[in-house]
Amino acid sequence: MTTVEPEASPGEQATPAKPPKSTPKSTKAKLIDAARWVAIAVVIFFAAKSLIENWDEFWRTLQGIAWQSSVLSLVALVASIGVGVYAWQTIVDDLGKPIGYARGAQINLVGSLGKYVPGSVWAYLLQMELGKKAGLARARIFTASLLHLGVGVVAALVLSILAMPAVFANSPNAWWLLVLLPLGLAALHPKILSWGTSLVLKLLRRPPLDHQLSYKMIGKVFLALVGVYALQGVHLWLLANSVGAPGFNGFVLCVGAMAIAMTSGTFAFILPSGAGVREVVMVAVLTATAISGPQALAFALASRVMFTVADLLTAGGAALTARLQAARAK
């Protein structure tokens, strides 16, 4: 990834870029670069560990699914990741000089592997460091990730309505979802979202936003994240539909289930990538579509492995693209 002069943080006035220096890197800079590579190696290790631990169950499940369904299910996941990057990059572009999709993908996808390390905060830290390496202020990357998470939670709450019958049947205490929905929608108002974001930045001793977030930007991100959950629902539905059970009603439930499952997994920050939390929600919804409990659990575990494969494929593709771009620039 090409290193450029760091930009101003959100709310700061950008200073003219300095001409590149030919002096060798300082010891501190070399140590920081080494730490970034170590961090990337660690998250790849944990992602590979997750893949290996669940592989046997995944393979047994996959053998009972038509290969077309398996391939299309993985394609739907990869597409959902791509749409998620678009949503994140849209926010980053709104907070400063546009960086474009390719550059945003390099930062977002590789950094997102940090979620496989226990404590989801590592994903945000790695994204900030990769953004810094690419010349973007850490505060800008953090702000974009914070907004991405907040809007994503509201999008998930909206879609969770689709799975409410199955969710309430298995968890009567899930009424809190209905309470949070109107609060979440209100929080998407540009004035409220801008105020909340600036407040967080102030608590972190960073300058507040230098402009109010727009309806257009928030709307684009919201719709993109609805698309992310819809594609993830397609992924789960293709797996479950391979046994001839869900049908269209099952598809609607799968979309709502993935929205709830992915959001629940995000807030289970102690566990690597929400391990266990997502599966509980998926099994609850799949059993409501007449799929047996053991079969539903097998699909949920297969889904987790396919998520890991999709994450590694997209992050690897983004990293390879960055290396090729750097090589051409020399």
Sketch the domain layout of the chain as residue ranges: 35-47+82-329
Coil, strand, or helix at residue 275? coil
Coarse DSSP helix, strand, coil percentages of the chain, rounded to the nearest 5 percent? 75, 0, 25
Cβ neighbours of 46 (radius 10 Å): 18
- Surface-to-core class of residue 26, CB atoms within 10 Å of its CB (0-12 exposed, 13-18 middle, 19+ buried): exposed
Q: Dmax of the chain from CA atoms?
A: 67
Structure tokens at 206: 């960073």
Q: Indicate the pTM of the whole model.
A: 0.77
Tell me: pLDDT of 159 over 80: yes
Please give the distance of CA 109 from its chain centroid, rounded to a whole number: 8
State pLDDT tens for residues 31-84: 555 555 555 565 566 556 655 665 565 556 666 677 787 889 899 999 999 999
Structure tokens at 158: 């909206």
Distance CA 116, CA 260 (A): 19
Q: Which of 22-36, 276-290, 293-307 ranks highest by mean pLDDT?
A: 293-307
Distance CA 239, CA 295 (A): 11
Distance CA 64, CA 61 (A): 6
Mean pLDDT, the chain, whole residue set = 76
Are 119 and 270 spatial neighbours (Cβ–Cβ below 8 Å)? yes
pLDDT at 220: 95
